[in-house]
Amino acid sequence: MAITRRNLLKASACTGALLACGSSAQAAREAAMPAGALGILYDSSLCIGCQACMVGCKQANDMEPDPEGGQTIWDNPADLSSRTLTVIKKYEEGKARTRNQTKDGFAFVKLQCMHCADPACVSACPVSAMTKDAETGIVSYNKKACIGCRYCQIACPYNIPKFEWHKPLPQIVKCELCRHLIAKGGISACCASCPTGASLFGPVELLKEEAHRRLLYEAGHYYEFPLHDIRSGRSVVQPAALYKQKLYGEKELGGSQVMLLSAVDFHHLGMPELPDKSYASTTETIQHTLYKGMFLPVALLGGLVYFVKKNAEKLHDDE
């Protein structure tokens, strides 16, 4: 068969289409959480804003005080920073009289890394400085591998990773679930410090069961709420709040290992509304379609061959 322009274009288009079909037939990547995933259930309705979790976190992770905290004699950071891995913030409305009430009420929220099932920070990092542990699911940071590009910061939908701008050799800083304590048989320091059980450590599956149990509790009735570690057997009896019927973090972006319950809407607590499908999965599906199936390179090559041939024909005609 003579190589005509039409044949060439037809061939490259068909090859590209076939390879693209093959690529899209690859199973779309699902957010995976290891069977032994560990996490935190934060119940805003139980939180009294004492900030013991923040103190425990600073101590366990040897973090320096945050100068942004105002003119107090103690460390009182207003937000997450390169010196603060977790922070308690407050929602308040009107006269802010009643806890766990939207109107004329207030509520607390604890911010930290969500340890996403399919973390955008891991997907965005070009040198694998951010990794998700295959056993515990903890999203960790390797300062030796980091090149300081800050792609993880841009990618994170929760705005969690912070950069040490104040240091000559800055690094990324974020909660790693106190993996150094967990490795020695301990638990996250914030949960170990919490007096009400608002921050509860444990296997994600058990935490989910506990959360769904609480969603059925009758507001104002007294129940046992586990303390520190859901497996510890320790608990405190307190009244249940009128929960919003949602476990935040169960579905968002494929789920996360840190989950939240609340008596006020989550957007009041500053938690973003997010789709169920992870951003990492969406962008990687597009990349895989374009590159792994070789659709884009084949299409580019086809175009290149076409233009080279066209120029060669033109040169030949000119001669």
Q: Which residues bind ligand SF4 (CB under 6 A)?
A: 47-53, 56-57, 60-61, 85-86, 88, 108, 110, 112-116, 119-121, 139, 156, 158, 160-161, 174-178, 188-190, 193-194, 196, 198-199
Q: How far is the CB of 37 from ligand SF4 (least distance, A)?
A: 12
Q: Is the separation of the CB atoms in 86 and 58 below 8 Å?
A: no
- Is the Cβ of residue 20 or residue 156 nearer to ligand SF4 in the bound state? 156
- Is the Cβ of residue 19 or residue 241 nearer to ligand SF4 in the bound state? 241
DSSP 104: T
At residue 81, what is the residue type?
A: S
Q: How far is the CB of 131 from ligand SF4 (least distance, A)?
A: 10
Tell me the DSSP string of 262-318.
Answer: -SS-GGGGTPPP--SS-HHHHHHHHHIIIIIT-HHHHHHHHHHHHHHHHHHHHHHHH
- Is the Cβ of residue 228 or residue 244 nearer to ligand SF4 in the bound state? 228
- Is the Cβ of residue 90 or residue 310 nearer to ligand SF4 in the bound state? 90
DSSP 39: E
Q: How far is the CB of 240 from ligand SF4 (least distance, A)?
A: 16
- Is the Cβ of residue 72 or residue 315 nearer to ligand SF4 in the bound state? 72
Taking Cα atoms as reference points, which of 186, 171, 191 lies closest to residue 258?
A: 191
Q: How far is the CB of 170 from ligand SF4 (least distance, A)?
A: 17
- Is the Cβ of residue 39 or residue 293 nearer to ligand SF4 in the bound state? 39
Tell me the DSSP string of 115-170.
Answer: -BSS-HHHHH-TT--EEE-TTT--EEE-TTT--S--HHHHH-TT---EE-TTSSS-
CB count, 10 Å around CB of 171? Answer: 15
Q: How far is the CB of 138 from ligand SF4 (least distance, A)?
A: 9
Q: How far is the CB of 58 from ligand SF4 (least distance, A)?
A: 8
17: left (phi over 0), alpha (psi -120 to 50) or beta: alpha
